[in-house]
Structure 1
Amino acid sequence: MTSHAGLSPFDPPDVEWTPVSPKLARARFIMVAVVGGLPLAGGVVAAALSGLAWLWAVPAVIGLLMLWDGLLIPRQVRAIGYAERADDLLIRKGILFRSLVVVPYGRMQYVDVQAGPLARAVGIASVQLHTASPGTDAVIDGLPPEEATRLRDRLASRGEARLAGL
């Protein structure tokens, strides 16, 4: 009988994880600043103009949430990784709520590379894998554009090779 003590379902043995770019953290910081900054500024203006002391709780809560996001983002980005194995692609993410997605190459229908304006500005892209089941679509955010292109081409060719072998 083999002992599985100490093994985690999120860290399979003999898997070398490839991390995403730290630039993903910069993009997420910008999003937090934009999404939280406007309500924060509005709350400060409203509290200052109204003269109501309790109204300062609104910008305080928004500021604390932004600070919390700022502390979590670097750890979240470091927790994201992927690994190419012989028959499948592994994608992991999450700190408290961890996730490990296994996508067999033979199940992939197509692979997208995407980059919105913010992603292009900071120099990252995303690779999205589409399978027959919408519940198993997987995304790898925060890849350098060259790596995203390489991964797309490699996954597409591996998927075609697996389909041809069926």
Structure 2
Amino acid sequence: MTSIDPAAQPAGPFDPPGVTWDRVSPRLITARLVVLALTFGLPLVACAVVAALVTPWVWIPAGVLAALLLWTVLLVPRQVRAMGYAERDDDLLIRKGILFRQLVVVPYGRMQFVDVEAGPLDRKLDIAKVQLHTAAASTDAVIPGLAPDEAERLRDRLTARGEARLAGL
């Protein structure tokens, strides 16, 4: 877990003053690139085979897929570096996005339960995802790419803080 110095960040609606952001693991970059390679790489290979064996006009969609793959490979590391979370006394802040930035503020008293998830690729890369559930169905409070120990610590801490807020302590 690395922290981002609040003094080095410009103030604004997405960077509240005095907040020290914790970053997600850089292993999330690898996880996302593997998924992108499967998503774009397999159709790209199929287009190349069809273009070589059947008709050359299929090189056009292959080129488009190659350009999209290259663009996303360049974009994913920046997206992961832009992700962060911060625990404050009364709420949890989660931010993400480069072009379309988003800051989610989840008051501890509104949390209903906290999930920790890790799929096969996540387990292989030693990362997990923490998801917070609130009464609002539209809340997108997810922190992907955490080390399993940090995910467990965050789950326990958020659960304890949520129970304390619900009990009125």
TM-score calculated relative to the size of structure 2: 0.92
Alpha carbons 2:104, 2:140 under 8 Å: kept: no
* Rounded Cα–Cα distance in structure 1 between residues aligned with 2:147 and 2:52: 43
Q: Which residue of 1 aligns with 2:115?
A: 112
Alpha carbons 1:105, 1:159 under 8 Å: kept: yes
1:137 shift after superposition = 4.1
Is 1:98 paired with 2:101?
yes
Alpha carbons 2:113, 2:134 under 8 Å: kept: yes
Runs in 1 of length 4+ with deviation above 6 angstroms?
none
1:37 shift after superposition = 1.1
Q: Which residue of 2 aligns with 1:133?
A: 136
* Rounded Cα–Cα distance in structure 1 between residues aligned with 2:30 and 2:58: 31
Which amino acid is 2:81 matched to? Answer: R
1:163 shift after superposition = 0.5
Q: Could you tell me which of 144, 147, 150 is aligned with 2:150?
A: 147
Q: Which runs of 5+ in 1 are unaligned?
A: 1-5
Superposed, 1:38-53 pairs within 5 Å as: 38-52=42-56
Alpha carbons 2:22, 2:85 under 8 Å: kept: yes
Is 1:86 paired with 2:85?
no
Alpha carbons 2:48, 2:62 under 8 Å: kept: yes
Aligned residues with identical type, % of pairs: 65
* Rounded Cα–Cα distance in structure 2 between residues aligned with 1:96 and 1:130: 26
Q: Which runs of 5+ in 2 are unaligned?
A: 1-9
* Rounded Cα–Cα distance in structure 1 between residues aligned with 2:55 and 2:99: 40
Deviations 1:41-74 (A, max 9, x none): 100000000242x321111110110000000000
Alpha carbons 1:130, 1:138 under 8 Å: kept: yes
Q: Secondary structure at the match of 1:66?
A: helix
Q: Could you tell me which of 34, 55, 69 is aligned with 1:66?
A: 69
Which structure has the larger Rg over C-alpha atoms? 1
TM-score calculated relative to the size of structure 1: 0.94
Is 1:15 paired with 2:19?
yes
Aligned residues: 160
